[in-house]
Amino acid sequence: MDMETETKVSRWWAKFKRYTRRSLFIFIFLCFLLFIRIFLFQIYSIQGNSMYPTLEHGSVVFVWKGGFAISAKFFGTELLYTDPKINKLDLVLFVSKEDELVVKRVIGLPGEFYSIEAGRVLIDSTELLENYLPQGTYTSEPSTSIFLNRHNSPFLAMDKQGRIPPGYYLLLGDNRQYSTDSRSFGLVPVEKIKGKVIFYF
């Protein structure tokens, strides 16, 4: 191999290594972003006004997904890889019966006894203090059907009162008059909850 050919090969090899390093860096960076998107963090735009006045149509929420269920579409189910920390009055992102992402507020936790009467929400026989609601807000009673679970629905029909089973949550929208929430689609299983809203604007 003459000197000129050796120089060309050397230059080609240097370019190849440079492009390979660059491609590897881009690949690792994309994998990192995908990991964050699937397991840790999501940005979501609110559709509709069911959470008004807290959130309006077009509001942007930042959702923390660490510890919450991830969708395992290949197996046709959700995978819950840890026990997520969900507190009362948290805003959570979950998958509705129509497979749509929806944000609602956590009103009742597993093991608590709920009651909706005279337009008020009572948890363990104590009226829930909801300062985020406009004054005079009336919470109507549930309208979920007793036939809700005949179609293998993971959601659990609720009545005017009852105890929330382990692994289920009572979720309501802040715009009670126009919100489709647990009063219509039932108590939400933890595996359908995808994350907690940590910031919004």
Look up 50 and say whether it is catalytic: yes
Q: Which of 50, 115, 179, 182 is catalytic?
A: 50
Contact (CB, 8 A) for 142 and 107: no
Rg (CA), the chain: 24
Contact (CB, 8 A) for 54 and 61: no
Q: Which of 65, 104, 192, 196 is catalytic?
A: 104
Burial class (CB in 10 A: 0-12, 13-18, 19+), 136: exposed
- The residues, ordered by sequence, that sit 6+ positions from 107 with a Cβ below 8 Å of its Cβ are 88, 89, 114, 121, 123, 128, 170, 171, 172, 182
**Separation of alpha carbons 24 and 129, rounded Å:** 53
Look up 104 and say whether it is catalytic: yes
Token pair, residue 145, equals: 């059907």
Burial class (CB in 10 A: 0-12, 13-18, 19+), 46: buried
Catalytic (active-site) positions = 50, 104
